[in-house]
Amino acid sequence: MSRIPLMAGNWKMNLDHLEATHLVQKLDWTLRDGRHDFGAVEVVVCPPFTDLRTVQTLVDGDRLEVKYGAQDLSVHDSGAYTGEVSGKFLAKLGCSYVIVGHSERREYHHETDAVVADKLVAAYRYGLTPIFCCGEGLEIRKAGSHVAHVLEQVRAGLAQLTPEQVTSVVIAYEPIWAIGTGEVATPDDAQEVCGAIRAQLAESYGEATAQGIRILYGGSVKSGNIAAIMACPDVDGALVGGSALDPVEFASICRYQQHLTPDA
Ligand SMILES: O=C[C@H](O)COP(=O)(O)O
């Protein structure tokens, strides 16, 4: 089964709504200049909540093919939850995607596997496709238990979804030691874990479902290393942080085929 590659830019807490306009326009122009086929490689931006309305206006008004999503959502639909943002509101703003369980949410906001599982359910309540993050810290990697650790995160995160919902989830493997450090996992590192995730999905949900699920790699992705990462059979795209703040660089990542050498 062929999986459409997905390049998602996670802006984290960067760029206000005016800066978002500039970035999205420049990204769109750069991709169009390169005759980007959005049907062949999907492009998604995940700006801060405060930028989403602006991005929606731009995408709708100019009929852009770039899609957009949020970086988090509440487990609740509405109510007295100060500071929280409901999936209902995100859907109303035309979001296609929502990042769930990013390691920065797990670390700084103490999101457990159980909370992440609830957020995945909340995303599906409003038709949002979750980009469900998993990944190990350096200590776990050094101890050699990274595969088991990630597989448990995946199992726990998906536990409350129906098999039908699981078919459309996007999983992002992000080794924490490679996030924002400039230290990218080797293609072998990425393939080892992404391949193990797919094998576990096959065991739990069947081979057809596993073959249809997109698994992204995240951690210091740039135009210079994306082609090698995309050559891994079980990597179907990237969740990009720092490099997604530069529209030319992110466009170059989205057009990763141009970096392929005949031998790659
Ligand atoms: O969500 C994105 C990841 O945390 C990767 O960030 P990075 O590309 O800056 O390493």
Question: Is 3.40.50.2300 the CATH classification of the domain at 6-259?
Answer: no
Q: What is the ipTM of this complex?
A: 0.99
Confirm whether pTM is higher than 0.80: yes
| Backbone phi, psi, residue 49, to 5° | -50, -40
pLDDT tens-digit map of 58-71: 999 999 999 999 99
Residue 180: CB within 6 Å of ligand 1? yes
Positions at the binding site for substrate: 10-12, 180, 220, 241-242
How big is the CA angle at 71 (ends 70 and 75), to the nearest 5 degrees?
Answer: 90
Q: How far is the CA of 240 from the centre of ligand 1 (A)?
A: 5
| Region for 144 from its dihedrals, namely left if φ exceeds 0, alpha if ψ lies in -120 to 50, beta otherwise | left
pLDDT band at 264 (very low <50, low <70, confident <90, very high): very low
Name 44's bridge partners.
8, 67
Q: Is 183 a catalytic residue?
A: no
| Backbone phi, psi, residue 94, to 5° | 80, 15
pLDDT of 262 strictly over 80: no
Residue 46: CB within 6 Å of ligand 1? no
- Comparing C-alpha atoms, which of 38, 44, 42 is closest to residue 5? 42
How big is the CA angle at 10 (ends 87 and 259), to the nearest 5 degrees?
Answer: 135
Catalytic pick among 36, 102, 146, 249: 102
> What are the structure tokens assigned to 77, written together?
């639909």
Q: Are strands 170-173 and 67-70 parallel, antiparallel or unpaired?
A: unpaired
Q: Which amino acid is at 61?
A: G
Ligand 1 atom closest to Cα of 242? 9
pLDDT of 263 strictly over 80: no
3 state SS of 197:
helix
The full set of domain ranges for the chain reads 6-259
pLDDT of 247 strictly over 90: yes
Ligand 1 atom closest to Cα of 221? 8
pLDDT tens-digit map of 208-246: 999 999 999 999 999 999 999 999 999 999 999 999 999
**CA gap 22, 17 in Å, rounded:** 9
User: Which residues lie below 8 Å from residue 61, measured CB to CB, with a gap of 6+?
Assistant: none
> What are the structure tokens assigned to 213, written together?
């699920």
pLDDT of 186 strictly over 80: yes
Q: Which residue has its alpha carbon closest to ligand 1 atom 2?
A: 241
pLDDT score at 232: 97
pLDDT tens-digit map of 105-151: 999 999 999 999 999 999 999 999 999 999 999 999 999 999 999 99
pLDDT tens-digit map of 155-171: 999 999 999 999 999 99
Q: How far is the CA of 79 from the centre of ligand 1 (A)?
A: 32
Q: Probe ligand 1: pick from 184, 220, 250, max atoms within 8 Å of CB?
A: 220
Q: Is 84 a catalytic residue?
A: no
Q: Which amino acid is at 235?
A: V
3 state SS of 168:
coil
> What are the structure tokens assigned to 102, written together?
């990013």
Residue 219: CB within 6 Å of ligand 1? yes
Catalytic pick among 42, 136, 174, 249: 174
Contact 131, 239 (CB under 8 A): yes
